[in-house]
Amino acid sequence: MKSSLNKQLSAVGLSLALGVFASTSMAADEPPAINIKRLSMEMALKAAEGAIHECRAKGIQIGVTVMDRSGNPQVVLRDVLAPDLTLTISRMKAYTAISFTSATSALGDRGDGALGRVPGLFFGAGGVPIEAGGQVYGSIGVSGAPSGKTDEECARAGAKVVESELELM
């Protein structure tokens, strides 16, 4: 009986050892950590200011939100005469852009289904991802212009200000 128990324990031990070996050999192909590039506060602020300057040049005051890669607000600015509501909408646009890694203007049809009922998402123009060198760094959302098209032009201008610098990294 003791011999039978020893054989069973040996078989279990061998199975566990093989399982551990197999899982570690599969994991050897995977990196032990993932590096995620993020915008510095200064770069996020530069993007937000770029969007505000672009809209000011058009005679428009806006609210702008820059989100990090995880969808958290990093910089939020509202021009002096922009309504408070622009902050809520710019945040939703930035969040949607980073969530789908796409300009919100390209997502309009998705808002017609179940996604259109998810709180915090916005499926109209005005939000764009901030990308450079094949990496997504965050997103920028703008609200306050008479049209989403103009909001998106200002958001793209803000993103462009930092993307050229990020390309050099």
Give residue limits of the domains in the chain. 1-34, 41-167
- pLDDT at residue 164 in the model: 86
- In CATH, which of 3.30.450.150, 3.60.10.10, 3.40.50.970, 1.10.1420.10 is domain 41-167? 3.30.450.150
pLDDT in tens, the chain (169 residues): 555 545 554 554 545 444 554 455 455 678 888 888 889 999 999 999 999 999 999 999 999 999 999 999 999 999 999 999 999 999 999 999 999 999 999 998 888 889 989 999 999 999 999 999 999 999 999 999 999 999 999 999 999 999 988 988 7
Structure tokens at 103: 């300009």
- pLDDT at residue 12 in the model: 47
Give Cα 153 to chain centroid, integer Å.
19
- pLDDT at residue 151 in the model: 98
- pLDDT at residue 150 in the model: 98
From residue 121, give the alpha-carbon distance in Å to each of 9, 65, 150: 55, 14, 19
118, 100 in Cβ contact below 8 A? no
pTM for the predicted model, two decimal places:
0.80
Residue 66 CB contacts under 8 Å (≥ 6 apart), including other chains: 39, 44, 45, 47, 48, 73, 74, 75, 76, 94, 130, 138, 139, 140, 158
